[in-house]
Amino acid sequence: MINVVELDERIEKCLSILHDNPRSRIFAALADAYRRRGEVGRAFSICKNGLRIHPKYGAAHIVMARLYLHQRMIEQARESVNKAIEAEGQSRATDFLLAEIHLETGELQKAREILKRLAADGGKDAAWKSLHERLGEYNRRSTPPPPSGSPTPVTKPEPAIAVVKPQSVYCATADDFISELKKIPRLIACAVRQGTDESAITTCSPPEETRVIAEEFYTLHREINQALTEKGWGPLAVLRVENTQNQWCMIGGGDVVAMLMGLPRLGYAAALRRTAACLEQLVESDNFGISESPSRSVSTDQTAE
């Protein structure tokens, strides 16, 4: 549990030190404190600026790697970990980060080897147990149960995060789109909208609450997209928001926007690949016929584990 008071005190001390010495390496601790407090943008800016002065400060590269992982920018996170290793050598922190990167990319055997080494070298602390639990979840997802009464086959597990190829889904309408997304484990709700006219929502939570959340996120996506476009940075592709209870993802394709709402450990990378594949087909079909009225919600018991 993060102690907010302690974080605030740490931030104040770090800011005071930086005020007296702008070239202090305390910027890394400051950025990490902001990251823990949920102010990712500020943490990223502080750490990036500090690395311009101290480009070989390994601890700062570790903070950057954690920030990139939070945004699911996997290759950038891997690059930051490598820079940390080049600067100050391999450490338990870099090993944990590499294990998490391997989990995100579906390289389960590599993650398993790192976790085994970490357990032998330093024991099984809370961070180790958390990653080991995630590894177990990915393994369970990738290995279907054997038929009842049959012997358990000895097979090599497939990668937990399998790439969903476009031809493996069929999304000619918004109804098809929603049906495909309902297959994603740990999904609570999903929605798709073209422009401001049509939306289809399916949910395991109260329909009214889900609709309010969807409308708020559509508005947020539109405002951020408009701001980015006005600045000449191009349209918004993916927006992700996460707290301790849920996580949300918005993904756009042309004037079409899809929303996912899931439990923690949704399996973001795999869910995003499936959504992108479905969305591509839906946009190409240019058919948003929805059999359900936009004001209704379709319940399902397939989405929560």
pLDDT, the chain, mean: 76
Asked if residues 292 and 298 have their Cβ atoms less than 8 Å apart, the reply is yes
The last residue of one of the domains, among 141, 156, 180, is 141
CB 264 within 8 A of CB 245: yes
pLDDT band at 296 (very low <50, low <70, confident <90, very high): very low
Q: Are residues 175 and 224 in the same domain?
A: yes
The tokens describing 32, both together, are 């990490």
Q: Across 2-6, 34-38, 131-135, 296-300, which has the greatest mean pLDDT?
A: 34-38
Residue 200's pLDDT is what?
A: 56
Same domain? For 241 and 206 the reply is yes
pTM of the model: 0.49
109-123, 125-139, 141-155, 185-199, range with the lowest pLDDT: 141-155
- The more confident residue out of 135 and 282 is 135
Banded pLDDT at 211 (limits 50, 70, 90) = low
Flag whether 42 is in a domain: yes
The domain tally of the chain equals 2
21, 100: one domain: yes
* Half-sphere exposure at residue 114, Cβ-oriented, CA atoms within 13 angstroms: 25
- The 3-state DSSP class for residue 38 equals coil
Domain span at residue 188 reads 166-299
Mean pLDDT of 270-298: 62
Residue that terminates a domain, selected from 83, 108, 141: 141
Give the three-state DSSP class for 256. Answer: strand
Q: How far apart are the first and last CA of the chain?
A: 24
Comparing CA positions, the residue from 47, 41, 16 lying closest to residue 29 is 47
CA torsion sign, 128 to 64 to 87 to 106? positive
What backbone torsions phi and psi does residue 21 show, to the nearest 5 degrees?
A: -140, 90
